[in-house]
Amino acid sequence: MIVSIRAFKYLTPFVLFILAIIAFGGTGIVCWLPLLYVFFIIPFVELLIRPDAKNLEQAEEELTKQNKMYDYILYLAVVIQYYVLYLFLNSLQNIELSNADIAGRVIAMGLLCGIFGINVAHELGHRVNKFDRTLAKMLLLTSLYMHFYIEHNKGHHKNVATPQDPSSAKLNQNVFAFWKQTLVGTYRSAWHIDAKEMSVFQMIQITFLAVIYLIWGGAIMGLFIFAALIGALLLETVNYIEHYGLLRNKTESTNYERVQPHHSWNSNHVIGRLMLFELSRHSDHHYLASRKYQILRNIDNAPQMPTGYPGMILLSLCPPLWFKVMHSQMKKQGITVS
């Protein structure tokens, strides 16, 4: 019973759905509530709350792993994501909206594309059963990022923290240069890994856009594409902060050591953990990708971020400050900076 109740803490990310619905029905500052919540309120609160590095006890972990409530929460996110996308598209038909109102709504939808459309899909895409993987693809469709399903599972997890991985940021590489590297590189990589499935994904996305065009028109379709791009940039910025400057050693001329926890940056800041369904415990995720989000562990030798994901994303957008903070953090943790 206690384990089931604990699952409900992962409903807290749904606050963003509520704020988005409010934004799609309002004007003025109301349209910007999701942005303010994610990148102002949460980073500020995380500065005041101590990180929680505690892990579940072994018996408790097994019960938590088997509890289907954690899966149902993810399934609910799929349904709501499509419902809110429908509200978003309808809301843009209001001809009395100002440019600022439209921009706020597009950014709000972009946050949903990144946090639910890609992040929850990331969790479901690592599952072994066909149902969960189908839901992952459906969520990625709402962000026009279906190639992520191929490249992340078969490319990124294989090549992470090596020069062969377009989703791993190099030392001294700023986030804007990384965007170009990863947006182009992951798309190309997905085609190289599975051209047949990529062809199917492209046809699905084109059909989805055609439906939006026929129902809501070209202008609203364009705004949806822009929202999807915001979601993609949010995801890739997360990739940037998760692996910045970390490299695996070569064992042979063409091989690298097994992925270890110290090849990913970790964050135990509580609100960011909940908001992204424990994605910030990224070191354990890469060490064992099959572990469900609710049982991801803090690992002592994993490099720790100085704050949670929302704050780190903001920090990355100011490269001089990013380099100063992160290189200092790397030196404190014995990571080579050169």
Residue 166 in this model has a pLDDT that exceeds 90: yes
In the predicted model, what is the mean pLDDT of residues 324-335?
92
pLDDT score recorded for residue 67: 94
- Residue 64 domain flag: yes
Mind listing the pLDDT tens digit for each residue in 65-118? 999 999 999 999 999 999 999 999 999 998 899 999 999 999 999 999 999 999
Contact 272, 46 (CB under 8 A): yes
Rounded to whole angstroms, the Cα distance separating 281 from 54 reads: 12
pLDDT score recorded for residue 229: 98
Q: What's at 168, amino acid-wise?
A: S
- Residue 314 domain flag: no
- Residue 189 domain flag: yes
In the predicted model, what is the mean pLDDT of residues 200-220?
98
pLDDT score recorded for residue 239: 97
Backbone angles phi, psi at 166, to 5 degrees: -70, -15
- Residue 334 domain flag: no
Contact 149, 309 (CB under 8 A): no
- Residue 302 domain flag: no
- Residue 301 domain flag: no
- Kindly indicate the confidence band of residue 337, based on its pLDDT and cuts at 50, 70 and 90: confident
**Per the structure, how many domains does the chain have?**
1
Residue 302 token pair: 């994993």
Residue that has been written with the tokens 């279906």 in this structure:
146
Residue that has been written with the tokens 């963003």 in this structure:
16
Domain with 119, as residue range(s), is 2-257
pLDDT score recorded for residue 100: 97
pLDDT score recorded for residue 338: 66
pLDDT score recorded for residue 253: 66
Query: What are the CA-CA distances from residue 136 to residues 74, 117, 123, 147, 154 (Å)?
Result: 10, 8, 8, 11, 15
- Kindly indicate the confidence band of residue 333, based on its pLDDT and cuts at 50, 70 and 90: confident
- Segment among 24-33, 109-118, 181-190, 297-306 with least mean pLDDT: 297-306
pLDDT score recorded for residue 4: 59
Average pLDDT, the chain: 94
- Residue 133 domain flag: yes
Residue 1 in this model has a pLDDT that exceeds 60: no
Contacts of 149 (CB under 8 A, 6+ apart): 121, 125, 133, 136, 137, 140, 201
Mind listing the pLDDT tens digit for each residue in 232-290? 999 999 999 999 999 998 887 668 899 999 999 999 999 999 999 999 999 999 988 88
In the predicted model, what is the mean pLDDT of residues 174-180?
98
Rounded to whole angstroms, the Cα distance separating 248 from 42 reads: 32
